[in-house]
Structure 1
């Protein structure tokens, strides 16, 4: 198996956290998004990991892979033109040979799925377009399936509930070389949406040619593309966990929390749903539902629903008050 990971893109919805790093290297629940994803792929024993990077963040991504997963065979290329996700995936073609099966994984989301069942799920079809049933179907491209579970249509952001099976950015193709050929033909035909090439057009061309695709559902679809959804993902991944590997003094921890080795927490209340990266110091503060990245300092602060980047300093001040009866003091 070859695994294709398109990691190009500016991550504009996650700014300012992506101003200096790739969106796949943003931290959540004690790991980068990319580390969460690759850890879930490890049981597949893939022959090669193929990264589609951009010129700005590509070196960061590959340095991270070399340091964190040195045992994996990785290859990288650049998407020099922003021509859409299907174009990005097509750049893996030089590495896909006859007989290769391919798994495409986009890095905006962390998935929870049993990938060991791929062979079983794909026994009577040519590919899997992993999906998740959602209520807000208008926001996504959705799969329309027949009674046997085969995809018969794909609709981008439907106005009516023709389907609630949203595509989650996880795709398996049994014939990887054939898939690359369909990508190339779709691009050569100029099938774009607002100047970019998207995968649904490729998959529909495959279906029209007689190939069969199914839409198995995953257990959880954890969006990491916006600050608010990153915090939701942090809550989900921390549930049931309590890891305090750093130094904690005179503090109260309200589960779940994740404190990495090398972090210091002193005279503070942390939790629930707080992750603190190595090298950070939190003192005289109350922090809940937040992500504190590496080498940052938080002193005399109250934080809720916050994401603090690397090497940031937030220093507040204690207040002395003499407040009479029936008073209201609001500090925003």
Structure 2
């Protein structure tokens, strides 16, 4: 099996955190998004990891070399922004006859048992992983009948299906898939100037290919600040890990403090992750992500994300307040 990870893209919904780093290298629950994803894929023992990168690609290369040096990795550069299907098509030269392929986009972290791929795909040509959602109007959905996908609808107004496509696809015959991808691009089947994967799958189904829509256990969005914080909370459940230095501090589980971080005189938690090199002093922090090398002193933070090397320093207030006074200091 080959695994493709399209990690190009500006990550505009996560700015300012993606101004200087690839969106897949944003931290959540003590790891980068990419590390969470790769750790879920290594058990498949893929023969090759294919990364589709952009101008920030050196960050991805360096990260993989440092954190997963044993994995066989190849890199393809997407110079033009022409959509996800275009990004996948650029890796065609690396796909050989007889290859099977798992494509995993990097906006989401997933929970599912990938060891079932061969069993699930025994009587079909591929898998388009899905998750039932209530806000189906926001997604492309799979329409399923008798266990097989019969159609795909982009952002349906009516609940024809609530099985949203989660950005993970398995193709039993990768070379055949690439042929259909080339046909779709040659036919210029675009939406707002970009190429998407559903038209490729629809072409394949019209020619008799069959796909299933297995539902994953958890679909964790990392594409926006608010959903990144929700994902941080989900991943921290049951993972109260203190590897750094903690002094005179109250910890409200779950909290993840990396080795090399210092927390002194604070109230931390719940749902706080603190990266290596960060120092937090005399502060109250909850439901937040503090990235590498940051300083937080004399602050009250909640639902906050701090990037690398941030310095956020306040000071204690001095007050002279008479009897029967009411002082309200709003946090927002």
TM-score normalised to structure 2 length: 0.98
Equivalent position to 2:204, from 185, 203, 206: 206
Q: Which residue of 1 aligns with 2:307?
A: 309
Aligned equivalents of 1:169, 1:320: Cα separation in 2: 53
1:74 aligns with 2:73: yes
Cα offset, 1:330, TM superposition:
2.5
Q: Which residue of 1 aligns with 2:139?
A: 140
Aligned equivalents of 2:149, 2:324: Cα separation in 1: 66
| Residues 101-140 of structure 1 mapped to structure 2, 5 A cutoff | 101-140=100-139
Q: Which residue of 2 aligns with 1:173?
A: 171
Aligned equivalents of 1:85, 1:306: Cα separation in 2: 30
Cα offset, 1:326, TM superposition:
5.5
Q: Which residue of 2 aligns with 1:8?
A: 8
Per-residue displacement from partner, 1:97-147 (whole Å, max 9, x unpaired)? Answer: 01100000000000000000000110110000000000000000000000x
Cα offset, 1:149, TM superposition:
1.1
Q: Which residue of 2 aligns with 1:283?
A: 281
The SS at the match of 2:301 is: strand
Aligned equivalents of 1:319, 1:80: Cα separation in 2: 52
TM-score normalised to structure 1 length: 0.98
The SS at the match of 1:130 is: strand
Gaps of 5+ in 2: none
Per-residue displacement from partner, 1:153-210 (whole Å, max 9, x unpaired)? Answer: 1000000000000000000000000011110010001100011100000000010010
Q: Which residue of 2 aligns with 1:245?
A: 243
Q: Which residue of 2 aligns with 1:48?
A: 48
Aligned residues: 330
Q: Which residue of 1 aligns with 2:96?
A: 97
Cα offset, 1:329, TM superposition:
1.5
Kindly report the root-mean-square deviation, in angstroms, between the aligned alpha carbons of the 2 structures.
Answer: 0.8
The SS at the match of 1:240 is: coil
Aligned equivalents of 1:105, 1:17: Cα separation in 2: 22
Aligned equivalents of 2:302, 2:320: Cα separation in 1: 26
Aligned equivalents of 1:38, 1:205: Cα separation in 2: 30
Per-residue displacement from partner, 1:56-76 (whole Å, max 9, x unpaired)? Answer: x11101110010000000000
Aligned equivalents of 1:58, 1:259: Cα separation in 2: 28
| Residues 247-262 of structure 1 mapped to structure 2, 5 A cutoff | 247-262=245-260
Q: Which residue of 2 aligns with 1:83?
A: 82
